[in-house]
Amino acid sequence: MTVDISLKKMWAEFVVWMKLINMEKGIAMRVEREEFQKYEDIDLIALFKVVWVGKWKVIFVTGIAAILSVFYALSLPNIYKSEVLLTTVGASSGGGGSFAGLGGLGGLASLAGVSLGADGVDDVTLGLATLESRIFLTDFITRREILVPLMALESWDDGEIEINDKAYDLAKKAWRIKKPGSQAAYIAFMGKFSSSIDKSSGLIKLSIKSQSPVLAQQWVTWLVEDLNDSTRDREVEEAKSAVAFLEKELKSTVVMDMRAMFFRLIQKQTETIMLANVKKDYLFRIVDPAIIPEIKFSPGRAVICILGTLFGGFLAVFIVLLMHFLQPKKDR
């Protein structure tokens, strides 16, 4: 009995002791928070005083940054963007493609050694890949003679294109610098060209950015024309090669079923050639043609000025605080 009373007394004393410890910890933590808040307030006030003392430095640096931002924004040329909206026609839909629509003759054509051209690549993917290919764009730049405005365009003003005379001599039609190669021209053109596909509708948007709104509209229109022509020419060439091959095989076989199959294949390829020559929009059809833009696409001069001024302000505050803390304590 005496032992139980002693244990209960010890437990009660332990509980009281733990409560006292917790109370002391709570008081200490509260005091620390109050002290920290006091010092934090003091530090913030001190920093504000430092910035206030150096306010003229802040104003001066911020003003310089704002002026430089304005001059930089005004020095940037206007960039115009022209867009064309397309839908795919499908070369194979009009008889294009080497042996599209042959149905049951496909197996016989394969036995005859003729490729059906079924590579599993859809027209849109193939067309866009062709548009961005080096061989197509290099040929496009050369055929349309746009290398000079592409690589040496200096400005555009009131419908007049100004060429950088330090790079190209218009009178002599000769480059004053090393003539840009096909790779440099390709990279420059790809920097101005962009394409996108609306997955829901399947519509394709092509766009060209340029200092000249006229060139932007002209180039993106030419791209569609040349892509259709290039696809048509390729399909016609393949069809002609197939006809030549089939006529050769026709002469060398006496099996009536094979001869009938060759006649039908030749007829199909002849239809392909005829339809290709009458179709203007062979791969892509224009839904919304490109126009000469009247509103610039970039630069956003107001945004440049605002960001430049904010950057100058933050830089000025940082410089003032840095100069303050680098001073000896006795001079602060």
Per residue in 81-108, is it b (16+ CB within 10 Å) or e — as a string? bbbbbbbbbbbbebbbbbbbebeebeeb
- pTM of the predicted structure, to 2 decimals: 0.70
Distance CA 132, CA 16 (A): 82
For the chain, which residues make up each domain, given as ranges?
77-288
pLDDT beneath 70: ranges in the chain: 1-43, 90-121, 123, 328-332
Alpha helices in the chain (DSSP H): 2-53, 55-75, 105-111, 123-131, 134-143, 147-152, 182-192, 213-252, 256-278, 301-326
What's phi and psi for 38, nearest 5 deg?
-65, -45
Distance CA 201, CA 203 (A): 5
Residue 322 confidence (pLDDT): 85
Place of tokens 């002599």: 172
Question: In this structure, are residues 79 and 200 in contact, taking their beta carbons and an 8 Å threshold?
Answer: no
Residue 205 confidence (pLDDT): 92
Residue 113 confidence (pLDDT): 46
Within 8 A by CB and 6+ apart from 189, the residues are 137, 141, 150
Residue 99 confidence (pLDDT): 45
| Residue 240 CB-density burial (10 A; 0-12 exposed, 13-18 middle, 19+ buried) | middle
Orientation angle between helical segments 55-75 and 301-326, nearest 10 degrees:
150
Question: In this structure, are residues 332 and 66 in contact, taking their beta carbons and an 8 Å threshold?
Answer: no
What is the tens place of the pLDDT at every residue in 33-67? 555 455 445 467 777 888 888 888 889 999 999 99
Reduced to 3 states (helix: H, G, I; strand: E, B; else coil), residue 71 is helix
Q: DSSP characters for 117-176?
A: ---S--HHHHHHHHHT-HHHHHHHHHHTT-HHHHHHEEEEETTEEEE-TTTEETTTTEES
